[in-house]
Structures are given as structure tokens and as C-alpha cells.
Amino acid sequence: MSELAVQSLELPMWNLDYLTVENIVSSFLEDNDIAYMAIREDDRHIAGMSQSKFIGNTFDDFRMASGFITTERSILYNGSVIGEVQLAISRARVQSDLATNIAVLVAVSVMILLAILTTSRLITRRYITRRLLELEHAATAIASGDLKADIGTDFKVGADDEIGRLAQNLETMRDAIKQLVEDLRASKEELEQHNAKLGQMVQERTSELEQATNTAQVAQRLAEEANRAKSDFLSSMSHELRTPLNAIIGFTEYVLESDEEPVTEDQRESLSQVVKAGRHLLVLIDDVLDLSKVEADAISLSLEAVDLREVADECVSLLSAFAASKNVEIDNQLTAQALPPVKADRNRVKQVLLNLLSNAIKYNKDPGRVQILQGAAAPGMLRIAVRDDGLGIADDRLADLFNPFDRLGAENSAIEGSGIGLTITKSLVDRMGGKISVDSVTGKGSTFWLEMPISDSPVKPRIEPEACGSQDTTDIEGLVLYIEDNPANLELVRRITTRRPGIDFISAATGKTGIERARAEIPDVILLDINLPDLGGYQVLEALRVAPETRHIPVIALTAAATDADIARGRAAGFFSYLTKPFAARRLMATIGQALRPVAST
């Protein structure tokens, strides 16, 4: 095959007729058993083609593959090398052709011998017949696979007569068949060695992949364990900090709101600072928990169509008193504009805007101004900007703006902050498919802009929650049982609840005692801490639900377990309400009032 290719290509290659060269290559590739053919000249690729199923394979790929026989032949013209042809042919085809040729040769030889024997028998039945019979036996033995068969002993191979020449041809054929068999055996051994080497390579690679997989799995498990440990630690620290904060803020607010022993203005100012510091510490705790969830990619989002103008109005309302205390005016220009809805988590995008606006107020000048504007955005996006008149941010510090705990030098000022609000803000915006950035001029202020994807769906009507803090609870009455092991929290809740003349208060310091008092005295509402020294709050709740005499009593969780997972679990468990510490006294009484209303109405 390679010789035919060389002969066909000599003249076109000499004449530099590359079109004819490509046509010759194409004609050879019409044979499906020729997998690849290429023509090269001085290391330059002239023409090449492979079967469609081998497109992309190189000659070296076929040379390394076990299923192909490859050859390279020089193209000569007048004794000079003018090129090189590379061929890759299916090994199965070559073996099949060899077997077919052997069978044909053997069959033809047998037929020739039979014809000769028949003719010779007519000429002579003694001298010629005996010699031909020996040749027939030898040919039959060769056809049966005996390549060592004796051609004949009664006549010399090489005798100058027809039978002698026939014997010579038979011996030549036998030697050729023997050589073919040896070549096939060598090819088989080479193929077996190649397969063994390939198997070893596959085994080694498999072992490497298994080791890499095991390493990755170990690393993943360690990372998951570290995340769980960090989450457990932060949850525990949140609980341990919220419990004393509840007493600090609660008792301070109780004194501030007390009508029995009014405080002086100086005392009120001092107590207000205590509440302010406690609330700031609570914000820091919440920010650290949020940052932990961001780093663990554990923040859940509920994307829906959101009216950013409505969200901005709510944020301005919440921060108006804070802005007034800082002598900062808020100019919300979105109020008069019709904005398309954006696709976002409403609570999280509100958290983002609150953070940007509170920063713009805190870091503004006195007097100052904060503007909320709509800006030009990319197609399919809505951009709003929060602009302030503050000191601005230096260009060399802008790259650090969203790094956690980096306040860009503000930690040395009297302005409160944790340095992680913008880190959380950027992570939330990124996860909602939006963008956030800042333009700032030192001495003139900063403009934070936020882009969110426009929603294809309309905004669904919102059901506003009942404002429990504004409900009148002066006329409520009933027996309240508080199951809590912390004496300070017990005393705080006792003082808050017993301000109402119709409220009677009892308590229990353990879960078991609480269950016993609930069954014995049948309170109208139960306040329950989750972390108790003997039984968990959920075990107490289950015991109250099982007993017929207490299953109807509304149970309000009053706990420092305040993570999203804690709150979700509490709501799913069936608490009447789930309040986290530190709680506002008005909200606590409003929730108790909601639980007692059915009692009062009966």
C-alpha cells in the first residue's frame, strides 16, 4: 500500500502539483481501513486526511495506538528524496488480508497440485505419480499448519524437471508462509506487550486519581468540619452575649420608662447611652453572624419582584430620626419617579440600602445632605445611587473598601462601626445578580451606586404585618409562667409584666419544674427559654403539647438562640411566637397580649 502511494506521488510531488497530491490522498482515504494519510516535504505539511471518526488525531496518536500499523516512506524522484508519505492502516485489516492471502495461496497451490497429479497420472502411474503423491502429502501438511513438512526424500529439490521445480515452488511458498506466521507471532507479542504497558499506565493513572480524590474528600471534610465548628462557636457566642445584653438593655429601658420613679435628665442621658451602646453591640453580633454566613455561602435568598422606590421610602422612614440627630437632610428623589421592579430578595436589598444610607449619614458633615438618585444603567438593569457630602475616600484606599474589618482609618474616630457592613453588602448584591461600586472625591463626598436586574414579573401585593408594638395592653389579664434559669432575665420579665395590674406572674428555673407548675396551675400563657439546665426548650414544648391539660396554652419562645436556623426551627416547632433576646419590652407585652386576647374575650 505504501509502495503504491509512493509511486503515485512521485511525479505530482516533483511538479509541485499539490492539488493532484490532495486528490491522491483523498482517493486512498476512500478505503475505510486506511485511517490516516499525510504528505510532508522538508518538515512541512503538504496534505493530510483522516477518517471522520479520527479527525483531530496526529500520526503520533496512531503510532501509539495498538489497533493500527503505521509506516513512513520517502518519495524519490531520480534518486532524490522529494517528500515523505505517512500511513496508518487498521491492524485488523492487515491481519485479515494476510490470512486471506495465505488461504488463497494454500487453496491455489492445492488446486494446482491436484491438477498436476491428475495430468501426471495420465502420463505415468509409477515414476511421476509417486513423486506427486509425496508433494501432495507435503502440500496437505502445509495447508494443515505443519510448516516443517518434508517436501520429498526420493527426489532432490532443485531437480531440473517440472516436478523438481514444483517442489521448489512449494518449498518457497512454505518458507513464505512460515515467515508470515513468524511476523504475525511477533506482531501479536508486540501487541500484547503494548496492551500490558497500556494497562499498567491505566492502573497507575487510576491510582493517582483515587489518591487525588481521597485528598480532595479529606480537604472537603476538614473544611466542612471547620465551618461547622465556626458556626457552632458563633452561635454559642451569640447566645452568651445576647443573654446579658437582654438584662442590660431591658433593665435600662425599664428604668427609663418607669413612671413610679422618674429619672432626672442627666440620668436619662446616661441611661440612653447604655441602651445605645447595647444596641450597637447587638448590631455587631448580627453583623458577625451575617459575615460568617456569607463566608460559608450559607445565606438563603428568596428572589422576587421588588419595588425599590417602596424599599427606599421605608429605609428613609427608619433612618429619619438618626439623620436628624446628625443634622443631615435626606433627599429621596426616587419618590417622584416610576421605577420598574427589580429581581431581588426584598429583606436583603432593604438591608443593603439601610447600610448604604446609614453610612452616608454617619460619615457626612454637619450640616450635611444625602441624596437617593436614579442613574443610567446597563440594559436589563436598574441603577440607584446614594450620594453624600462627606469627606470622601482617597483613591489609594478604594480597593480596600469592601475588605472585612477595614474601616479605612475611621476606627480612630468617634464614629461607630464594625467594618464589615460593606463586605456583607457587596456579597449580598453579588449573590442577587447585581453590582455595587463607588465613586469618591476627597473633600467632596462619595456616591455608592447599586445596579439590580430588572424583573419580568410584576410586584405582588404585600401583606403588612400587624404593628404589635403599638397595641394597647393595659387591659390584658391572666397568669404568665416564665421558664428561665437566668435570674436577671426572670426579674426583668417579672417587672415588665407585673406593671399591668391584671397580670399575675410565676416562674420556674428548670424545664421539669416548669412542666410541673404548668400542669398544676394551668397558666394562660407560657414564656419559655430554649437553653435550660436540664431539659431543652423543645423537650418542654413537646411535653406541654402531649399533656391534655396544657396542650391549649400558647407558648412563646423567649431565647438568645437567634440564628436564622434557630428561628426557622422554632417556628416549625409550633411556638405561638419566637422572640429573640434582647427583646423590646413593648413587643414582649404586645405578644403576650395577642396570646391572652382569646382568654380576655371569653
CATH number reported for the structural domain that contains residue 518 in this entry: 3.40.50.2300
Asked, for residue 387, whether it belongs to a domain, the answer is yes
Q: Residue 392 and residue 403: Cα distance in Å, rounded?
A: 17
Cell of 418: 464594625
DSSP for residue 126: S
Which of residues 93, 117, 141 is at a domain's end? 93
Cell of 315: 429605609
Which of residues 93, 116, 146 is at a domain's end? 93
In terms of domains, do 443 and 476 share one? no
Asked, for residue 108, whether it belongs to a domain, the answer is no
pLDDT for the residue 80: 84
Asked, for residue 20, whether it belongs to a domain, the answer is yes
Let me know how many helices (H) and strands (E) the chain has, helices first: 15, 16
| Residues 530 and 536: beta-carbon distance below 8 Å | yes
Tell me the pLDDT tens digit for each residue of 374-419: 888 889 999 999 999 988 888 877 777 777 666 555 555 556 555 6
| Residues 353 and 449: beta-carbon distance below 8 Å | no
pLDDT for the residue 465: 46
Asked, for residue 30, whether it belongs to a domain, the answer is yes
Tell me the pLDDT tens digit for each residue of 322-350: 899 889 999 999 887 888 999 999 888 98
Which of residues 75, 93, 111 is at a domain's end? 93
What percentage of the chain has pLDDT greater than the value 70?
A: 80
In terms of domains, do 429 and 492 share one? no
In terms of domains, do 325 and 391 share one? yes
Q: Residue 383 and residue 454: Cα distance in Å, rounded?
A: 10
Find the mean pLDDT for residues 136-155. Answer: 70
SS3 392: coil
Within 10 angstroms of residue 362's Cβ, the number of other Cβ atoms is: 18
Q: How many domains does the chain have?
A: 3
In terms of domains, do 406 and 533 share one? no
In terms of domains, do 310 and 435 share one? yes
Asked, for residue 372, whether it belongs to a domain, the answer is yes
| Range name among 224-228, 533-537, 579-583 with the lowest pLDDT average | 224-228
Is pTM, for the whole model, over 0.75?
Answer: no
Asked, for residue 132, whether it belongs to a domain, the answer is no
Contacts of 525 (CB under 8 A, 6+ apart): 478, 479, 480, 481, 553, 554, 555, 556, 576, 592, 595, 596
In terms of domains, do 448 and 326 share one? yes
Asked, for residue 145, whether it belongs to a domain, the answer is no
- Structural domain harbouring 358: 304-453
In terms of domains, do 411 and 537 share one? no
Label residue 170 by pLDDT band (50, 70, 90): confident
Instruction: Give strand ranges (E) for 221-312.
Output: 304-306
In terms of domains, do 549 and 586 share one? yes
In terms of domains, do 588 and 514 share one? yes
Average pLDDT, the chain: 80
Tell me the pLDDT tens digit for each residue of 430-442: 999 999 989 988 8
| Range name among 205-214, 360-369, 497-506 with the lowest pLDDT average | 205-214
Asked, for residue 509, whether it belongs to a domain, the answer is yes
In terms of domains, do 438 and 317 share one? yes
Find the CATH number of the domain harbouring 349. 3.30.565.10
Q: Among 395, 310, 389, 322, which residue's Cα sits nearest to residue 353? A: 310
In terms of domains, do 360 and 493 share one? no
Find the CATH number of the domain harbouring 42. 3.30.450.20
pLDDT for the residue 369: 93
In terms of domains, do 518 and 433 share one? no
